[in-house]
Amino acid sequence: MKVGFIGLGVMGGPMALNILKGGHQLTVYDRSPEAIARLVAAGARATTSPREVGAASEIVVTMLPEPQHVEQVVLGENGVAAGLARGGMVIDMSTIDPVTSQRVGRALKELGIAMVDSPVGKTSEHAVSGTLTLMVGGESADIERAMPVLKCMGTDTFLCGGPGMGHAMKITNNLLATTIMVADTEVLAIGIKAGLKLELMMEVMKTTMAFNHQLYVAMPKKAFIGDDSPGFMVKLAGKDVRLAVELARAYGFDALVGRAAQESLERAAKLGYAERDTAALMKIREDELGIQVRLAPAQPAA
């Protein structure tokens, strides 16, 4: 297929590369010349606007930071919809709210353009390997048409329902994952300050209802070795939580735990960690309490 891709960041860049590896013709656009150059070197064609991407493509994939960016890039004066022919398709893989997603989808439908939402789960490592989790929403026929492109990027596909439901799944998933991570950070900091060893806490919690994958999978790779180099950045986690909290509020519900996580992430951003990994939350607690939350180095085999 002739595929366009807009948004070549930490996740989008390797996702686009996997579409190219899947045998599709790829046209790309990003605000970063360096990001475009990497894809061009791999065989993609560069353009200077979203409209040009649309004009060169049958399907355009977007992977953008915020809801307003999706609206502007897709529906703006020089946007994808201005170039994409009737019968074309947009696959939005950004993390945005379902209300915005559905609004963009309705506007595209009036132009004879289909839309599928498919935000992703897992990490940048999975984006590179093409093994992301795909949370897909849309009309059945449109999803079927999108699958050859989606399968280039992910191996675990979940059909979440109609338009916008992939985005609903993603922000609720990220709300839970992030609030668990924030809670882990605070609990471990308290325990270490009280004199407990991290290994002991993890050994005990593995046998209780405190067990969670943030603690045993994600944090040992980053927070427990003092690494807050960009992976899942604080500003993006904060955006995801904010969207979920705002969605709850729109339904007349006050997400108290979500708001607490949102405040923690906003505070981290104000302290200068917006573009650091969420492991920075652990570093902030360490600095506040004068501690280090570290796993002991593995001992060499005898």
Helix (H) or strand (E) holding 78: none
CATH number for 67: 3.40.50.720
Residues 37 and 121 in one domain: yes
DSSP state of 169: H
Per-residue pLDDT of the chain (302 residues; tens, 9 = 90+): 999 999 999 999 999 999 999 999 999 999 999 999 999 999 999 999 999 999 999 999 999 999 999 999 999 999 999 999 999 999 999 999 999 999 999 999 999 999 999 999 998 899 999 999 999 999 999 999 999 999 999 999 999 999 999 999 999 999 999 999 999 999 999 999 999 999 999 999 999 999 999 999 999 999 999 999 988 999 999 999 999 999 999 999 999 999 999 999 999 999 999 999 999 999 999 999 999 999 987 665 55
Q: Give yes or no: residues 128 and 232 share one domain.
A: no
Structural domains of the chain, count: 2
DSSP of 170-187: HHHHHHHHHHHHHHHHHH
Is residue 73 situated within a structural domain? yes
Domain containing 178 — which CATH number? 1.10.1040.10
Which residue, among 47, 54, 44, 38, has the nearest Cα to 24 in the 3D structure?
44
Q: Which of 127, 162, 197 is the last residue of a domain?
A: 162
Asked if residue 268 and residue 198 are part of one domain, the reply reads yes
Q: Let me know: does 15 contact 123? Beta carbons within 8 Å.
A: no
- For residue 174, the tally of other CB atoms under 10 A from its CB is 21
Contact predicate 235/194, CB 8 Å: no
Q: Which domain holds residue 155?
A: 2-162
For residue 29, list its beta bridge partners.
6
Are both 127 and 6 inside the same structural domain?
yes
Does a structural domain hold residue 299?
no
Distance from chain centroid for Cα 203: 30
DSSP letter for 277, please.
B
At 274, phi and psi to the nearest 5?
Answer: -55, -40
Residue matched to tokens 């979920």: 244
Would you state the structure tokens that stand for residue 115, as one six-digit string?
């839309």
Q: Which of 162, 192, 212 is the last residue of a domain?
A: 162
Same domain, 172 and 249: yes
- Cα–Cα nearest to 95, from 74, 126, 122, 118: 118
The answer on 255 and 189 residing in a single domain is yes
Q: Which residues are catalytic?
A: 170
* End position of a domain, from candidates 162, 186, 206: 162
